[in-house]
Amino acid sequence: MKTKIIALLIVGILVAAGIGAFAFLMMGDEDQPDVEVTGVSLQIFGNADGDSDVDGDDAQLVQDYLKVVEEGDDAGIEKFVNETDFNLQFADANDDGEIEETDVQQIQYIVEDEAEYVWLLDGLGNSRKIGTDISRIAAEYYANTELCLIMGLVDKLVAIDNAPYIYRDFYFNESKADSMVNLVNMNKPDYVFVNEQDLDILLVFFTTDYEVKQEKIIGTDVLYLGLYNPDMSNARQSNFIQGILKAGYIFGAVERAEAYANWVLETRDDLAAVAASIPEDEKPEVLMSTYSSSYFLDPDVKTCTVYCYTDPLGQACLLGGGKNIGEELYGDVYNTSLSQKSQVDALFNDDNTSTIDYIFLHMVKYTYGGSINAGVPEHGYIATSDDEIAQAWQDTTSDEHTLLVDMDPNNITLIAGDFRNGPTGAVLLGAYIGNMINPEYYSEIDAIALHNHYINFWLGIADYDVAVDGVFMYQPYE
C-alpha cells in the first residue's frame, strides 16, 4: 500500500538524523511531567483565578473574596479583584448571578468529582448547565466519537451518526460495534428515533439546528464543545482546546483531557518551531483544496476551494513549513477565513507572482448528512486497498486537467478526511506535510510514529499501524 512507501521514506529520513526532542511527544501519561496546560483560561464556572483548571486555589480565592466583600469597602474589593486577577464571571460557580458560599461548595464538588452539574460556556460562548450523571452518550461525526475514545468513555458511548458508524469495526471491539446504534443523518435528525435512545448527552459536531436539537431531544443535554473547524492559529485560546478540557470536567476525566490537550499543544509548538526556522524564500507555495465537487475531480468544474488561515487545513500547511497560496490571493481576507472559492484558471496563471509547488486535496466520502460523496475513493482508517485512491490520483493528474500540465504530478497528494474532521487540530497533517515538502527541516518529526501514537495510545486501538494499514496520504513517489 502506498502509505507503507511513505512510511519507509519518512523513517529513512529519521534514521539518518536521529529523533532528538521528538521522543517527548511519544510519552504516555505515566511518563510525561505533570505540566499545567499553560496559556489557557478555562471557561468552566468555578475557575475563579482564570487559569487552566478548577482546583482548591479557586475555592480559597472565592473565600478570600467573600471576606473582603464582608468588610463592605468598594475600594478594597476593586483592589482585591485587580491584584489577584479574580474572574468575577467564573467565580460564580453555579452561574446564578451571585458570588457566595454556595459557589465555594460547588468548586469543592468539582475538585472532588462530586458535582451534580457543571456550568460552562459551550463552543458558541453560551452559558450551559450540564449534568454529570452520564451513562448513555451519543456522538456526532469523527471528532466527537474519537474524543470519547480518548477520554475512555467507550462503555458509555451508545450511539453515533452514519460516518463513524461505518468506521465502527475500527473504533470498537466486535461486541461494542454490534451494539452501537446508527443515528444516521444528524444534520437532519429523526427526532423520534433519537429520543427513543434515552440519551444523557449528545455531543454535536456542527451548529446547524443546535437550538432546535436542544428543544426537540427531550431530557438530554445537547452540547457543542467547539471541535468543528478548530482555529489553531491561536491554539491555547481556541474553542478546540477549550472543548477538550471541558469534556474532562463533564465526564470525570480531567487528567486525561489535560494530558491530551498538552500533547496536541506540544506537538503543534514543535512543528511551529521548525516552520519558523525555514527561511521564507525556501518555503514552498502550497494549495490546500478539496477533491470532491471541484476541478480536480471533474475538469468541467472551473472552481475549487482554497483553504485559508483559520481552517485546520490552512494551519496544517503552515505547520508543515509551507506558504499558503491563499495569502497572496486574498490578502487580509485570508487571515480571517476558513476558505474561499477560486476560479481554477486564476490559480494556474503565468502572470501570477507565485507558482504553486504542491497541492493537497482533502477528501470526504461519508458526510455529516449521512450521504456518500460520489466519485470519492475509499480512504482513511477502514481502507483495505489503495486501488481506488490510485485511480483517483491518476484521473486528477491526467491530460484532461490541462491547467496542471506544468506541475510535477508527484507533488499532487490526496489526503484523508480524517485529518480535518478528527480531533487532532491539524497537528498530524502538519507533520505529514512537513515530512513531504520540507524533509530536511522536519527530519526529527516522524509523522508515522505520531499518527500511530495517536491511534494506539490516545484512541486505545491496538494492532493498527498506519505504515501498513489504511490510506491517508496518496502520491506514488515515482
**Which residue, 411, 403, 408, 378, is CA-closest to 299?**
403
Largest CA distance in the chain: 81
On whether the CB atoms of residues 287 and 306 are closer than 8 A, the answer is yes
Q: How do strand 358-362 and strand 285-290 relate by DSSP bridges?
A: parallel
Over range 234-245, report the average pLDDT.
92
Domain-embedded: residue 222:
no
Give long-range contacts, CB 8 A cutoff, 24+ apart: 60-67.
Answer: 61/86, 61/91, 62/91, 62/93, 62/99, 62/103, 62/104, 62/107, 63/104, 65/91, 65/99, 66/99, 66/100, 66/101, 66/104
Residue with cell 435512545: 197
Identify the three-state secondary structure at position 263. Answer: helix
Write down which residue in 96, 117, 138 finishes a domain: 117
Residue 10 has pLDDT above 50, yes or no: no
Residue written as grid cell 437550538: 211
- Mean per-residue pLDDT for 329-354? 88
- 137 part of a folded domain: no
Give residue 9's pLDDT.
Answer: 47
Q: Is there a single domain that holds both residue 388 and residue 444?
A: yes
For residues 420-442, give the mean pLDDT.
96
Per-residue cell: 182: 446508527
* Residue 353 confidence class, pLDDT cut points 50, 70, 90: confident
Please tell me whether residues 48 and 17 are part of one structural domain: no
Q: CATH number of the domain that 96 lies in?
A: 1.10.1330
Helices and strands: H and E segment counts in the chain: 21, 14
Q: Which of 53-57, 253-257, 347-351, 362-366 has the lowest mean pLDDT?
A: 347-351
Q: How many domains does the chain have?
A: 2
**pLDDT of the residue at 36:** 66
Same domain for 317 and 384? yes
Once rounded to an integer, what is the mean pLDDT over residues 135-162? 98
Judge whether residue 374 has pLDDT over 70.
yes
Residue 440 within a domain: yes
365 grid coordinates: 466520502
Asked whether 429 and 6 are in contact (CB, 8 A), the reply is no
DSSP 378: P
Q: Percentage of the chain surpassing pLDDT 70?
A: 92
What does the pLDDT read at residue 179? 98
Q: What confidence category does residue 237 fall into, taking pLDDT thresholds of 50, 70 and 90?
A: confident
Whether residue 169 lies inside any domain: the answer is: no
Whole-angstrom distance, CA of residue 417 vs CA of residue 423? 12
Q: What is the mean pLDDT of the chain?
A: 91
What is the reported pLDDT for 475? 85
User: Which CATH number belongs to the domain containing residue 339 in this structure?
Assistant: 3.40.50
303: part of which helix (H) or strand (E)? strand 303-307
Nearest to 139 by CA among 163, 115, 121: 163
Residues 286 and 318 grouped into a single domain: yes
At 57 the pLDDT is 98
* Residues 282, 358 within the same domain: yes
Domain check: are 24 and 48 in the same one?
no
| CA-atom Rg of the chain in angstroms | 24
Q: What is the pLDDT of residue 229?
A: 67
User: What is the pLDDT, as a whole number, of residue 39?
Assistant: 85
Q: What are phi and psi of 471, to 5 degrees?
A: -135, 115
**Is 159's pLDDT higher than 60?**
yes
Same domain, 20 and 95: no
Torsion angle, CA of 228/231/237/242, rounded to 10 degrees?
20
Mean pLDDT for 19-39 is 52
Say whether pLDDT at 11 is over 80.
no
Distance of CA 112 to the CA centre of its chain: 29
Percent of the chain having pLDDT more than 90? 83
Banded model confidence at residue 5, pLDDT cuts 50, 70, 90:
very low
427 lies in the same domain as 352: yes
Co-location of 342 and 418 in the same domain: yes
- The answer on 54 and 22 residing in a single domain is no
> pLDDT grade, residue 302 (50/70/90)?
very high
- On whether residue 303 sits in a domain, the answer given is yes
Instruction: For residues 375 and 469, state if they share a domain.
Output: yes
Q: How many CA atoms lie within 13 A of 100 on its CB side?
A: 6
| Predicted confidence (pLDDT) at residue 267 exceeds the cutoff of 60 | yes
For residue range 113-122, list pLDDT tens digits in order: 999 999 999 9
CA distance 364 to 165: 15
Joined together, the cell numbers standing for residue 469 give: 494499514
DSSP string, 438-465: -TTTTTT--HHHHHHHIIIIIS---S--
Residue 402 has pLDDT above 70, yes or no: yes
Q: Mean pLDDT, to the nearest integer, of 99-110?
A: 98
Alpha-carbon distance of 162 to 189, in angstroms, equals: 11
Which of 117, 139, 157 is at the close of a domain? Answer: 117
Asked if the model's pLDDT at residue 16 lies above 60, the reply is: no
Range of the domain at 446: 2-29+273-474
- CA dist 263 and 25 (Å) reads 7
Does residue 298 surpass a pLDDT of 90? yes
161-178 burial, b for 16+ CB within 10 Å, e for fewer?
bbbbbbbbebbbeeeeee
**Residues 92, 49: one domain?**
yes
The answer on pLDDT for 18 being more than 80 is: no
Least confident of 104-108, 116-120, 235-239, 368-372: 235-239
Q: What is the pTM of this model?
A: 0.92
In a domain, 254, yes or no: no
Above 80 in pLDDT, residue 86?
yes
Backbone angles phi, psi at 341, to 5 degrees: -95, 140
**Is the separation of the CB atoms in 322 and 332 below 8 Å?**
no
CA 90, CA 49: separation in Å to the nearest integer? Answer: 8
- Helix/strand/coil for 362: strand
* Cα–Cα–Cα angle for 389, 26, 358, rounded to 5 degrees: 35
Task: Work out the average pLDDT over 397-408.
Answer: 90
Distance CA 163, CA 380 (A): 12
pLDDT of residue 32: 47
Please give the backbone phi and psi of residue 123, each rounded to the nearest 5 degrees, phi first: -65, -10
DSSP run (H or E) holding 359 = strand 358-362
Please indicate, yes or no, if residue 412 is contained in any of the structural domains: yes
Which of 117, 144, 179 terminates a domain? The answer is: 117
The verdict on residue 125 lying in a domain is: no
